[in-house]
Every structure is written in C-alpha cells, then in structure tokens.
Amino acid sequence: MKRVIIVGMGFGGIRAAKELAGKGMEVFLLDRNNYHLFQPLLYQVATAALEQESIAYPIRAMARRWPDTRFRLTEVCGVDLEGKRVLTSEGPLGYDYLIVSAGSETNYFGMTSIAEHAYDLKKLEDAEKLRNQILGLFERAVKENDPDKRKAMLTFVVVGGGPTGVEFSGSLVELVRYVLAKDYPELSITECRVMLVEASNAILVSQPENLRQYAVERLRRMGVEVLLNTAVIDAAPEHVVFKDGTVIPTHTLFWSAGVKAAPLAGALDLPKAGGGRIKVKPDLTVEGHPDVYIVGDMACCQQDGAVLPMVAPVAMQMGGYAAKSILAKQSDRELPPFRYHDKGSMATIGRSSAVASAFGFHLSGILAWMAWLGLHLMYLVGFRNRILIIMNWAWYYFFHERQVRLITMKEAGPPQCNWK
C-alpha cells in the first residue's frame, strides 16, 4: 500500500485527507497541534464573541472516520527530498507521495520593533492573548487617574485593511460600545479609539469600488477611524509611529498587514518566490519531484499572469486537486493543470452588515451578512461547533451581549499589596 504524508491540517490538508481516505492508500496526517483551527473566526475569539473550542476540532476525531488514515502529533523540521523522508521531532517518516500544507505566518517585513510589540492572529493562543490584552486594559483604565495614560490604554491601532483587519475593527468597536461601555460605567466611551490603518488608498482591495466605499463609510459610522495612505513604521510598548512622524499613544497594536510562508518553507531546498513561498508547477508539484505537492499559502502558483492569493478557498481547491492527482497517477491517468475557480469574496463589518461579491453579484448590508454567516457555518468542522456558534451569534444579535469576557492569563509573580 502506497503511503501519502500530509503535513499541516489546515484547509488544504483536510481537503486532501478527505479525498484520499478509503482510496486504497495509507494516509499519514502530521501537525504540531492536535486540532484543526478555523482561522477566519479567530478575531471573534479575540473580541469575546466566541469560545476558543468552538472554532477548533480534534484531528483524531476526523481521522477515525477516514479509513486507512493515521494522525501523528509532531513538529516537521524538514524534508529529505532525495530519500523521500519527512524529518520530524519524533524521527523520519518515509513517503511515496507528500503533500505539504503548512500554511503561513505573519509578515512584519523586517520591522523588528513591530514584530516585538504587535499582536497578530494566526494561532488559537494568539486570540486568547489579544482578548486578555483588551479586557485587561479596561480593568487597568478604571484605576488610572491620569487622563492621557487612560486614553492610551483605550486606544487600539489595527494595521491592515484586508478582511482580517476590517472584521476585527468592526467587532472590536461593537464590543466596546455595546458591551464594555455597560461593564465599565466609570469610563467615558469617548476616550476609546479604534483606528484602522491602511498603507494603500483602499481597504478590501479584492472587492469592487462601491463595496470598498460602503465598508469605509460603514466602519466610520460605527466609530472606527479609518486612515488610508498611512503606514506604521515603528512601535514601542506604549506608542506606534506613522511614516509621517505622527506618534499615537497606545498599548495595543494589532498587525494584519501581510503574511508569508510558514518557516517550514525555508527548510526546504526548493526555489522560492516572494514571501518565501515555494514555486510550484501547474500540477502543484515541485521541479524534479513529481511526488511532492505544495498547496495552500506555501505555494506560489501563477494563473492568468497573477499569483494566486493566500486565502482559504485557494488552499481547499489545491488540496483537493493534489489528492485527485495522486489517485490519478495510481491509475496511470493524468489530470489537466490546476486551475483555481474564484467563487467570490466577502467580509463582515459588524452586526447585520457585510460586503460580498460572487459570480458578478455585489451585495452589501444584511443580505451579504447572512451569506457570510451561512458560508462560515458550512465550512466549520463539527456539528457541535456549528450549534455553539449559532447560539453565540443569536445571543449577540438579539441582546448585544458577549458572554466570553474572560481574562484567562495573568502576569507572573506574587500579588503586590499596598498597606499604606
């Protein structure tokens, strides 16, 4: 029985595993975590809208339903391409076919101060850490008598006008205005600022102009300060610096301005493109190794003169294609080159509002929001997770309440009591 190893159980890895399960091949799933993470909803964990466990699902719970599939919790350190072995923290594993879908990490573009002080959302613990930061600052602000220091604590700078930055900004300002304003009556809501900073002249660049403008206007009506043509170039624990020299006192910088290939890509001796992504052939294999497929955010795949974006729909279609290609080779068949079918894009801008474009249709407002809800529920793994999220969304929709306002991490060290 031929062995297929899939590295990374993100959207691409899961799609590949589903296609290969029960097809007469031994499938090994490798990941550093024992769960699949639904990354598009991480921002809702960070803004106290969802519990962590509602957007994660155990990989073994999926694998046990897939015949001839095994999971190994391990760290993949590299690949011996000539010896056809995956190098892991538990030792090498041989393969006949390999699908690498290790995803991406945040790209700070070499700005070390920003990498040191900014928050991002790539892992489950990132969302919990950011939620603790937001709620913790409100607790500190209640006790702060200096108005300038208090205002800095309640200023949140979000960098990047893509879907993550827009969705996080909208969710955060709603958390502040509808929930935390009631939790902290001692604080004035006017002291809180949510700033969405974009270096280019537009947000949501994948959307048509009318939807981009709708998003900007909607965010501003909600209370988000949208700053276009503005770049952040430096950061410290209590301020950020714009390219024009403006200094914004803040304790929270959230960075969603770029991604690059996961570190594993750098450990592979293969040709690279921008962002450390691995160049792939039209069939998603790499030059000289027809048994190795790179899918998802790690793959640099050109189509119609442009590189495919690092988004979940691309990863899912790539994962499905790689699996079908392997099965075709086993039957001495060939598939046509991979081609991504763009089914559109969407972004939510808060309660009852979103933008969506698909198949030539442009939607905004509540209809786009309902489409966004349906699509995300469809791609979630696990019936229980869907029920939990529906309940949370319904509760917030009708009562403007978010129940997951938990500070779950505290600073190390014994408590300091002031007896004077």
Asked which of 330, 356, 378 is the last residue of a domain, the reply is: 330
Q: Which residue segment(s) compose the domain that 142 sits in? A: 112-257+345-399
Burial class (CB in 10 A: 0-12, 13-18, 19+), 221: exposed
pLDDT at residue 114 in the model: 97
Q: Is 354 found in the same domain as 315? A: no
Q: Is 203 found in the same domain as 176? A: yes
Torsions phi, psi for 166 (to 5 deg): -65, -45
Q: Is 126 found in the same domain as 89? A: no
Q: Is 189 found in the same domain as 132? A: yes
- The C-alpha atoms of residue 242 and residue 197 are separated, in whole angstroms, by 9
Domain annotation covers residue 415: no
Please check whether residue 338 is in contact with residue 354, taking contact to mean a CB–CB distance below 8 angstroms.
Answer: no
Asked which of 276, 305, 330 is the last residue of a domain, the reply is: 330
Q: How many folded domains does the chain comprise? A: 2
Domain annotation covers residue 116: yes
pLDDT at residue 397 in the model: 87
Please report, for the domain that includes residue 147, its CATH number: 3.50.50.100
Give the pLDDT of the chain (420 residues) as one tens digit per residue. Answer: 999 999 999 999 999 999 999 999 999 999 999 999 999 999 999 999 999 999 999 999 999 999 999 999 999 999 999 999 999 999 999 999 999 999 999 999 999 999 999 999 999 999 999 999 999 999 999 999 999 999 999 999 999 999 999 999 999 999 999 999 999 999 998 999 999 999 999 999 999 999 999 999 999 999 999 999 999 999 999 999 999 999 999 999 999 999 999 999 999 999 999 999 999 999 999 999 999 999 999 999 999 999 999 999 999 999 999 999 999 999 999 999 999 999 899 999 988 999 999 888 899 999 999 999 999 999 999 888 999 999 999 988 888 888 889 999 766 555 566 655
pLDDT at residue 400 in the model: 84
Q: Is 227 found in the same domain as 349? A: yes
3-state SS assignment for residue 113: helix
Q: Is 230 found in the same domain as 362? A: yes
- The C-alpha atoms of residue 16 and residue 317 are separated, in whole angstroms, by 9
Q: Is 224 found in the same domain as 142? A: yes
Q: Is 162 found in the same domain as 293? A: no
Domain annotation covers residue 409: no
Please report, for the domain that includes residue 288, its CATH number: 3.50.50.60
Q: Is 189 found in the same domain as 141? A: yes
Domain annotation covers residue 179: yes
- The C-alpha atoms of residue 50 and residue 125 are separated, in whole angstroms, by 14
Domain annotation covers residue 153: yes
Q: Helices marked H in 175-268 — which ranges?
A: 181-183, 209-222, 263-267
Angle at 111 between CA 267 and CA 76, to 5 degrees: 20
State the amino acid at position 222 in one-letter form: M
Please check whether residue 401 is in contact with residue 395, taking contact to mean a CB–CB distance below 8 angstroms.
Answer: yes
pLDDT at residue 420 in the model: 55
Please check whether residue 224 is in contact with residue 170, taking contact to mean a CB–CB distance below 8 angstroms.
Answer: yes
Are β-strands 69-73 and 26-31 bridged in parallel, bridged antiparallel, or unpaired?
parallel
Domain annotation covers residue 93: yes
Asked which of 298, 330, 362 is the last residue of a domain, the reply is: 330
Q: Is 274 found in the same domain as 162? A: no
Domain annotation covers residue 46: no
Q: Is 187 found in the same domain as 224? A: yes
pLDDT at residue 54 in the model: 95
Q: Is 252 found in the same domain as 303? A: no
pLDDT at residue 418 in the model: 60
Positions marked active-site: 167
Domain annotation covers residue 374: yes
